[in-house]
């Protein structure tokens, strides 16, 4: 299940980068936000169903060591819609407490 997810995320980023070029000529910006595990009812249900505890071990090991909050994700989106980020386009903003970095550099390949 991990490989299809990674492929879909990469395809989405490439789509956003292509759209950013086209839309920038019209004065618009296109970005994407990639949240990590966010403390929601859905994330709790997923953690409860995770019989081997993989999700919680990953959260403990990476960056912030905790799930994010919905407000933290909303703040990232607000930043990208603000004029202070007017030079950012075609980007993927990771709002994941370091989870992606941990996966890339510490997760066993197999």
Is residue 87 part of the annotated active site? The answer reads no
Q: Tell me the C-alpha distance between 49 and 64, whole Å.
A: 23
Whose tokens are 């070029």? That residue is 21
- Alpha-carbon gap, residue 23 to 91, rounded angstroms: 13
Cα gap 2→12, rounded to integer Å = 15
User: Which of left, alpha, beta for 90 (phi over 0: left; psi -120 to 50: alpha)?
Assistant: left
Which of the residues 1, 2, 4, 5 is marked catalytic?
5
**Known catalytic residue: 44?**
no
Catalytic site residues? 5, 9
């Amino acid at each position: 299940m991990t490989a299809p997810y990674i492929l879909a995320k990469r395809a989405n980023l490439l789509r956003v980068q292509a759209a950013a070029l086209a839309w920038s000529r019209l004065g618009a910006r296109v970005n994407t936000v990639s949240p990590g595990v966010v403390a929601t009812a859905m994330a709790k249900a997923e953690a409860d169903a995770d019989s081997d505890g993989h999700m919680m071990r990953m959260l403990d090991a990476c960056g912030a060591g905790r799930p994010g909050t919905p407000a933290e994700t909303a703040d990232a989106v607000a930043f990208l819609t603000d004029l202070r980020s007017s030079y950012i386009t075609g980007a993927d903003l990771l709002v994941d407490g370091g989870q992606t970095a941990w996966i890339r550099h510490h997760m066993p390949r197999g």
